[in-house]
Amino acid sequence: MLGIKRLGLLAALVLVGVAPAAAAQAAAQPSEQDTQYLQAVHQVNLYEIAAGELAQQKGQNQQVKELGQQFVTDHTELDQSVQDLAGQLNVDLPSEPTTEQQAGLDQLNNASGEEFDRLWVTQELAGHVQAIQATQTEISQGTEPQVVQLAQTALPVLQAHYDALVMLAEELGIPVPETSPSGTASPGGTVPAPGGTTPAPGETFTEEPVPGGTVTETPVPQQS
């Protein structure tokens, strides 16, 4: 979901305060948080649509095919709203996914059979965790009402996708991102963005520093 190196970047954005005298200007120009959320979620949608189409073409598991079709439908609809709002707010959107997302698509293109299914589910889990984190951050820290509303609309869709992925991952024996009882990512439980390195069983991930900001913990979806 959607340069930004990781979708989780938005969880680390520090909002710039707007002085009362600049209120009119702020209303016309979205904050950095709002702008980067629109750009990031657009890239998420570009990746998800492409990955969903690959799932329909190459998936061996029927549920992978069906989820891929659902993701294409939902993210196409969401992206139309993103593009419409970006146009209203004069926000320029990227024309392609991030480098990491494109690398993930390349990996999927080169995989087949059961390997494809497992790689697709692993990437989708990673991408949806970070997309949800970014969306939660926008809801709590965004300043442009229309962008916040879009995030509020997107969140239950992303959560439903994640829940379906967790169920499928458990059936296929694929590791699911670890969460603590509070829903915060456990140490070593962070997953890479699509295109990142997939760990071997038992390996863990470490969080990368975010340029220009300090990483802050953001709740991630509870497993169902």
Residue spans of the domains in the chain: they are 28-224
What residue type is assigned to position 132 of the chain?
I
Q: How far apart are CA 117 and CA 167, in angstroms?
A: 14
Number of alpha carbons in the 13 Å side-chain half-sphere of residue 186: 9
Q: What was the pLDDT predicted at 174?
A: 92
Please indicate, yes or no, whether the overall pTM of this predicted structure exceeds 0.75: no
Burial state string for 176-195 with b = 16 or more CB within 10 A and e = fewer than 16 = bbbbeeeeebeeebbbbbbb
CA nearest neighbour of 172 among 119, 136, 111: 119
Residue 37: how many CB atoms within 10 A of its CB? 30
Name the β-bridge partners of 209.
none
The full length of the chain comes to: 224
Superfamily of segment(s) 28-224: Ferritin, core subunit, four-helix bundle (1.20.1260.10)
Averaged over successive runs of 10 residues, the pLDDT of the chain (224 residues) comes to: 41 37 54 97 98 97 97 98 97 96 97 96 95 97 97 97 96 78 34 40 35 39 48
Three-state secondary structure readout of 85-132:
HHHHCCCCCCCCCCHHHHHHHHHHHHCCHHHHHHHHHHHHHHHHHHHH
Cβ neighbourhood burial of 47 (10 Å; 0-12, 13-18, 19+):
buried
CA nearest neighbour of 151 among 30, 57, 34: 34
Residue pair 63/168 in contact by the 8 Å Cβ criterion? yes
Q: How far apart are CA 216 and CA 11, in angstroms?
A: 6
Q: What was the pLDDT predicted at 29?
A: 81
Q: What was the pLDDT predicted at 179?
A: 52
| DSSP 8-state code for residue 177 | -
CA nearest neighbour of 187 among 167, 170, 204: 204
What residue type is assigned to position 48 of the chain?
E
